[in-house]
A and B are shown apart, each in its own frame.
Chain A
Amino acid sequence: MSNRLLSMSALAVAACLTTFGAAQAATNIEMFFPVPVDGQLARDMGTLVKKFNDTHPDIVVTPVFTGSYDDTLIKTNAATKAGKPPAAVIMSANFLTDLVIEGQIQPFDDLIKASGKTDDEFMGQFFKALHPNAVINGNVYGVPFQNSTPLLYYNKEQFKEAGLDPEHPPKTWQELIVAAQKLTKRDGERVTRWGITMPSSYDYCGWLLEALTMSNGGRWFNEDYGGEVYYNAPSTLGAVTFWSDLANKFKVHPTGEQKAPGVSTAFLAGQTAMMVLSTGSLTHVRKNAKFPFGVAFVPSNVRNAVPIGGASLVQPKGLDAEKRKAGWTLITWLTAPEQSGWWSRATGYFAPNKGAYALPDMKEFLAKNPEAKIALEQLEYAKPWFATYKTLAVRKAIEDQMQAVLSGKVEPKQAVETAQKNADEIMRPYVERTALKLPAMN
């Protein structure tokens, strides 16, 4: 009896060892991804990863859905601290500076070198505007995967109805106000159609205000140093005042905070004639709009300029060499021209890899979808996304004020002063240990 038991357990151990041996042939890794719009894209991601697994027999990737961009950040940090870092994460690109300062992610430089390229050669395949959010302190920390810029969407039917030329959307702030006034429809006191709506919930609010500030000639933040923002600069004040005027003075934009899903829904339902939203929503709008729509550059006051948005692939610290290498293989594959182009067509994001636009599939797609081409053209004027020490808190400092301005609770002048004061307070520890840490006299 006991003999039999013994031989049985020996068998079991042997069986375990064999399966273990078999499993070792392939490296199992995980990739965290937030879902950009609806379940369909999670499925597309599954298709993409399956293709990778089929063509790379030595690596098995499990795509892990991780909720929103914020949830993805929490989950990545928690998993890393628990000793289970994923080999690749699609991370909101403006978290990167912060993650580097906090020491949560590691640079790819050695892996790039091992592939026989220099950092510049490697990054050279991506659009220039994407570099500052990926290369931090001279090291490559992120590989751009899905990127966007803000875009003006407009309803061509309603343009015609209001006597506007649907082929000539507003280019300047002045033209925007004129068009929005013509497009706004009222039923007594109640507005039944707004001229323009821009989302002002957290995240979107800061991003669009940055876009307005940049097109007002401003800089918004110091691209080379994570401890400075220019919230009380005239260019920012002008942008805040302009947005405030649309809502409070000209009354062509709804008051109060507007949530992004609400804005796209209102646009699709014809309740707002224009909206500013990410290029990442392009596919969703194309699929769901029951009217001809057009897209255009974000109207400008001083110059054409918009910030980049979207997400990059990063690797947390604490991965063993084998998984790191497998993760790197996945990352380079996902960001290669072919995949980059495929994902761009599925989502509406532009393909960060310039090579994608040289492929026949992409050329054909752009010919068929002129609005995707406009999104691409705007890239020429794109600038880095806002990223500082404690990015989210610093961004929120002005978002809270902007939301109060849109609700008519605070004047723009006072809002930018308060925002600047709060932001400076948040960045103070960093500033004190960097820019203000001066050589002591003996």
Chain B
Amino acid sequence: MSQISIARPAPIAFPSRFKPLAVNLNLRAYFLLAPSLVFLVAFTYWPVLQVLWQALHQQDSGHTVFVGLANFTAIFADSAFRNALVNNLIYAVATVVPSLILALGFAITLQQSSWVNGLLRSLIFAPVLVPLIAVSSLFLFIFLPGIGLLDHYLAMLGLAGANWVGDPDIALYSIVGLTIWKNAGYYMLFFLAGLQAIPAEAGEIAMIEGASHWQRLRYVTLPYLHNSLAFVLVIALLNVVTQVDHIFVLTKGGPSESTNLLLFYVYQQAVEHYDIGKASAATVVSLVFLLGLSAVSLRRMEQSAEAQT
């Protein structure tokens, strides 16, 4: 038990509680990490190393040549890649912000448990249960020009419809609409959970002090939801970069590249162009993009957690 503590005598004033925790379990830490590490090595680090290696090489009729950063300069010179990057940014902002606001609104309005609220929650949550691949074919019909659900009812109201996913000017926003529909209920759930943690007294005190609904929202509810907000932000950001099934089924990045996103660009390079070098370089860039996004939000999450303890 104490071999390690003998080897490294603790200072006299050291608080006793650090002894069993910090020193004794030292070796055990690696043992605790081992199960995760085995899978991470096999399915993350090893393939990522391959990707990095490929990003620096070019496959040319069976030969592999080291090309340094040529793949990176190639993708940045590729207007399709820059276009995908811009599209992804627009898509990220246009889906995350409204989804979060809607989800928050839903959660606050439906926080009291009653059967009506239960029903409404279920209705709003329902899209989460439909696999994205089925959502896409459902919306393929909804978006059909002329005959689809949207245009059919717009025509009844005497409004001209649109070619929702066939017009390069609006296709990306139609995809945004689909994504908000699919995800708002998902995020609502986390906010509902966060709201449960607000002590009832907090709201009551504010009420007695004559705070308006807005003031209560601003000064009582939102500060408590800080944690949930940070959490939802992280998953929402990860979603906008890593989930592209609907692009696969609905638009394939078209028309005229208007709905091409980073991950779909990677797919095109790897599968359609047989260009593993460029695909890997684009992967590395999207990795950095994601790393940046999630580092910021994870740090926020960490800070808000620390602020609470």
Contact = CB atoms under 8 A, between A and B. Distances in A.
- Would A and B touch once assembled, by the CB under 8 A criterion? yes
A4 interface: no
Interface stretch (B97-105, B165-173, B284-292): B165-173
A156 interface: no
B167 A257 contact: yes
Given A70-B271, A73-B271, A259 B257 contact: no
B145 interface: yes
19 contacts: A70-B271, A103-B62, A201-B166, A256-B163, A257-B163, A257-B255, A262-B140, A265-B141, A265-B144, A266-B147, A269-B147, A390-B272, A390-B274, A393-B273, A399-B254, A403-B255, A407-B166, A407-B168, A407-B255
A51 to B, nearest CB: 31
A370 interface: no
A407 B61 contact: no
Contacts of A399: 254
A202 B254 contact: yes
A191 B147 CA distance: 11
A103 B273 CA distance: 14
B252 A202 contact: yes
Contacts of A201: 166, 252, 254-255
A149 interface: no
B144 A409 contact: no
B144 A262 contact: yes
Contacts of A200: 166, 255
Given A266-B144, A390-B272, A399-B254, 19 more contacts: A103-B62, A191-B146, A194-B146, A201-B255, A255-B167, A257-B163, A257-B168, A257-B254, A258-B145, A259-B166, A262-B148, A266-B146, A266-B147, A271-B146, A392-B268, A392-B272, A400-B256, A401-B256, A403-B168
Q: Specify the main secondary structure of chain B where it touches its partner.
A: loop
A70 B140 CA distance: 18
A189 B165 CA distance: 21
B252 A271 contact: no
**Most chain A CB atoms below 10 A, which of B140, B253, B255, B274:** B255
Contacts of B255: 200-201, 256-257, 400, 403-404, 407
Interface in A243-284: 254-259, 261-262, 265-266, 269, 271
B160 A254 contact: no
A143 to B, nearest CB: 23
Q: Chain A CB within 10 Å — which of B145, B257, B271 has the most?
A: B145
A269 B152 CA distance: 12
Given A70-B271, A102-B274, A257-B254, A404 B147 contact: no
Interface residues of A, number: 41
Contact of A262 (B145, B167, B271, B273): B145
Contacts of B148: 262
Interface in A179-210: 189-191, 194, 200-202
Given A266-B146, A269-B147, A409-B256, A259 B155 contact: no
B160 A255 contact: no
Contacts of A266: 144, 146-147
Contact of A390 (B140, B169, B273): B273
Interface string B17-55: 000000000000000000000000000000000000000
Interface in A90-126: 98, 101-103
Nearest to A399: B254
Interface in A381-439: 390, 392-393, 396, 399-401, 403-404, 407, 409, 426, 429, 433
A62 to B, nearest CB: 23
Interface residues of B, number: 29
Contacts of B155: 190
A407 B167 contact: yes
A403 B254 contact: yes
Contacts of B209: none
Interface in B173-232: none
Interface string B240-260: 000000000000111111000
Nearest to A78: B271
Query: Lowest 5 CB-CB distances: which A-B pairs, in order?
Result: A257-B255, A256-B163, A257-B166, A403-B255, A256-B166
Nearest to B258: A403
B60 A403 contact: no
Contacts of A255: 163, 167
Interface string B142-156: 001111100000010
A429 B60 contact: yes
A229 B274 CA distance: 19
A74 interface: yes
A392 B274 CA distance: 10
A401 B168 CA distance: 11
A403 B256 CA distance: 6
B167 A77 contact: no
B140 A259 contact: yes
Contact of B160 (A77, A189, A401): A189
A433 B61 contact: yes
Interface in A63-100: 70, 73-74, 77, 98
Given A73-B271, A77-B271, A400 B166 contact: no
B160 A404 contact: no
Contacts of B141: 265
Contacts of A70: 271-272
Nearest to A102: B274
Contacts of A258: 145, 163, 166
B10 to A, nearest CB: 49
Contacts of B62: 103
Contacts of B169: 407
A265 B145 CA distance: 11
A393 B252 contact: no
Contact of B256 (A262, A404, A426): A404
A423 to B, nearest CB: 13
A261 B137 CA distance: 10
